[in-house]
Amino acid sequence: MGYAKHIGRVGALAVTLGVGVALASAPSAFAETGDSSSSPSSSSSSSSGTSSGSSSSSSSDSSASSTGTSTSSKSSSSETKTTRSARSSAGSGTVTVPLSDRTSPVRATSARTAKTSPLSAGAPRAVGPAFTLVTIPVNPAAPLVNPQPGTPPVEAPAALAALAAVRDELERNTLRRNATSGPQVGVASVATPNVLVIGVDGTNLSRVLADPANVNFFNLIKGSSTAPSSIVGHTTISNPSWSTILTGNWGEKTGVINNIFTPWTYNRWPTVFNQLEEDHDEGIQTTAVANWDVIAAIAAAGGDLGADLVRYIGRREDDPNWLKTDDAVGDTTELIIAGSDPSVANFVFSYFVGVDENGHLHGGASEEYKLALNNFDRNLGELMTAVEKWETANNEEWTIVLVTDHGHQPQQGLGHGFQSPDETETFVIVNGPGFTPGAINLQYEIVDVTPTVVTLFGGTPRATDGTSMTELTDNVIPVNNDAALRAALQDLISKNGYPDTVTNVALGVRTIFTSIPYFLVDIVDGIVGGIKSVAAQNIPVVSLLAGLAVGPVRFIGDLGYVATNFVAQVVARITGVTGASIYPFWPPAAPNFPSYTPPPSTLVGLQVCGDPALNACVPPSIAV
């Protein structure tokens, strides 16, 4: 994701002289590390012409960030909590398949055994006790394109020829994924479901697993069904990927090509918030908490069908590494969970940008990236505790989905945007009634999140490239051993590779050309902001001239956007983005959300934590 103010933004080298195609295929863009690579997309792929989806830049509806007051906390019962690692696996067609000679003990079941019912919008189907034997394949099912593990693609100097051929290549390699035939996942038969989706930007699962300090992350994996997925063959830019996650459609269909928020996109491709609001209206509370304004804008998109409550957490001035800002996202989300009304359905989306920002600033293999992961891990643990307290107090359960949009290159600089295994590495983790604890699922993809959430609330997903994960029950369960589960996931991640040369070159060229208008807009915004600050200082003559210069500078910048965006949309269309369009010509308005800070009265008992390695947690002195 990220803010383009850092030199390490995706495609930043797009504005340098003549390095475009070289970046798309040069070995330096495919650096590998010992503990990081991308996972297989296994039975992946979506309808023809699809490739990468994402999240876009923001809406100017600032009122969305202040509507609603559901953040007040509620006291929780002191009764014994049910741990999320002990979820019931009723309804899923799985069988234990040992990965070693050791046998696994039977996993404990939840203290609250939920009634199960099939998750479908049509006529109910009986959930039978039939089981399907599954094994981990030596080579996972074919992803969108044919990965070539471990070897960077050959140089492709003939970029124009590659562009001309890419559409046929993409269509030949794109096969619609079918749901596994068999019983669907069951969920607790309650009238008011609760779902929490946690988005952590730019996170490599391989690096999470390699660090034993990430205990909360791994505890969630042990209690969940986990997909070490990949978006190889799709762009690894943040906005396209988050729009994929939040609409259920790849970027090739939605036309989201960079990190510029285009509000009209979500009029045609409704978000998960839009679909839930349309289905349930007053019967559901939808909430988004995010420290990237693009995510806040996507949540608010759709007019009256946008999220009921949007909390945008702006970066703190005293927070160069984004850890305190991530903490504020976590604290705000905890308050929202604690204040959730059990008499209505609840959907909460919580987005953390800190890991991605540190990846851009320092590289995915850096100590700073590792500490950002540790910091998120602590926030994740606090969110899980908040959920468990609410469940105990209200005798209801939450389904939790944890997802990322892309990975990160190990070195400082570019970050992501191309097709190295480190960049295409993603994951989807689902914890809740009916999802098998400790299972590995090779079918889940990031495009499945929205249809899954809509289905969990009893609705019918709109036209989507994804499949509800309630239907994707082809699980594998390693032996009940932490080391074996960790090793199995790392092994699957290591099998991820590069796309074929034509696809790789095409997506690299697309990244370069589509990034140019984004960076141009960002540069112009910075210049205009500086001029406005001078104008506001009331310096004789100088401030007057600065004020007069704002309009012309903005106009010239907009003309530059029109020219570069025209080229970007043409390149996107040639490389398979069927949703690409040169209209509207003029750039959309930038996001305009006031930064939210919880009122001081809500901070009782909360802590502000800095470097997790130093256990630097202190009572807050100001609202965070």
Give pLDDT, residue 11.
39
Find, among 285, 248, 281, 219, the residue nearest to 83 by Cα. 219
Q: How confident is the model at residue 383 (pLDDT cuts 50, 70, 90)?
A: very high
Q: Which of the four pLDDT bands, split at 50, 70 and 90, describes residue 600?
A: low
Query: Which two three-digit tokens encode residue 557?
Result: 């910048």
pLDDT at 70: 38
List of residues 6+ apart from 466 with CB closer than 8 A = 46, 248, 249, 445, 447, 448, 449, 450, 451, 452
List pLDDT tens digits, range 155-203. Answer: 333 343 444 343 333 433 433 345 444 455 544 456 899 999 999 999 9
pLDDT of residue 480: 76
Rounded Cα distance, 28 and 37, in Å? 15
* Model pLDDT for residues 75-102, shown as the tens digit of each residue: 333 333 334 443 333 333 443 333 333 3
Of 15, 415, 457, nearest to 197 (Cα)? 457
- Name the percent of the chain lying above pLDDT 90: 63
Domain ranges of the chain: 12-67+171-502
Span 419-449, pLDDT tens digits: 999 999 999 999 999 999 999 999 999 999 9
307, exposed or middle or buried, with CB in 10 Å at 0-12, 13-18, 19+?
A: buried
Per-residue model confidence as pLDDT tens digits over 9-26: 333 333 333 333 333 344
**How large a percentage of the chain has pLDDT more than 70?**
65
Using CA atoms, how far apart are residues 494 and 228, in angstroms rounded to an integer? 10
**CA separation for the pair 517, 188 (Å, rounded):** 47
The residue behind tokens 């929490």 is: 196
pLDDT at 597: 87
Inter-residue contact 609 to 331 (CB < 8 Å) = no
Winning range, highest mean pLDDT, from 22-36, 86-100, 340-354: 340-354
Q: What is the 3-state secondary structure (H, E, C) of 417-485?
A: CCCCHHHHECCEEEECCCCCCCEEECCCCHHHHHHHHHHHCCCCCCCCCCCCCCCCCCEEECCCCHHHH
Cα-based angle 557, 558, 562 (whole degrees, multiple of 5):
120
Mean pLDDT of 294-322: 96
Q: What pLDDT sits at residue 583?
A: 93
pLDDT given for residue 1 in this prediction: 54
- Beta bridge pairs of residue 146: none
Mean pLDDT within 509-522: 98
Mean pLDDT of 309-327: 96
Average pLDDT of every residue of the chain: 77
Which of 422, 293, 265, 230 has its CA nearest to residue 4?
A: 293
> Taking residues 520-538, what's their average pLDDT?
96
Residue 478's pLDDT band, with cuts at 50, 70 and 90, is confident
Class of domain 12-67+171-502: alpha beta
CA distance 403 to 350: 11
Place of tokens 């990468």: 52
In 3D space, the residue among 191, 228, 297, 247 whose CA is nearest the CA of residue 453 turns out to be 247
160 neighbors 568 (Cβ within 8 angstroms):
no
Residue 414: band (very low, low, confident or very high) from pLDDT cuts 50, 70, 90:
confident
pTM of the model: 0.73
**Least confident residue range of 187-201, 283-297, 563-577:** 187-201
Bigger pLDDT: 13 or 514?
Answer: 514
In tens, the pLDDT along 199-231 reads 999 999 999 999 999 999 999 999 999 999 999
Rounded mean pLDDT of 539-555?
96
Looking at residue 338, its pLDDT comes to 97
pLDDT of the residue at 558: 97
Q: Which residues contact 563 (CB under 8 A, 6 or more apart)?
A: none
Q: pLDDT-derived band of residue 599, with 50, 70 and 90 as boundaries?
A: low
Q: What is the pLDDT of residue 184?
A: 55
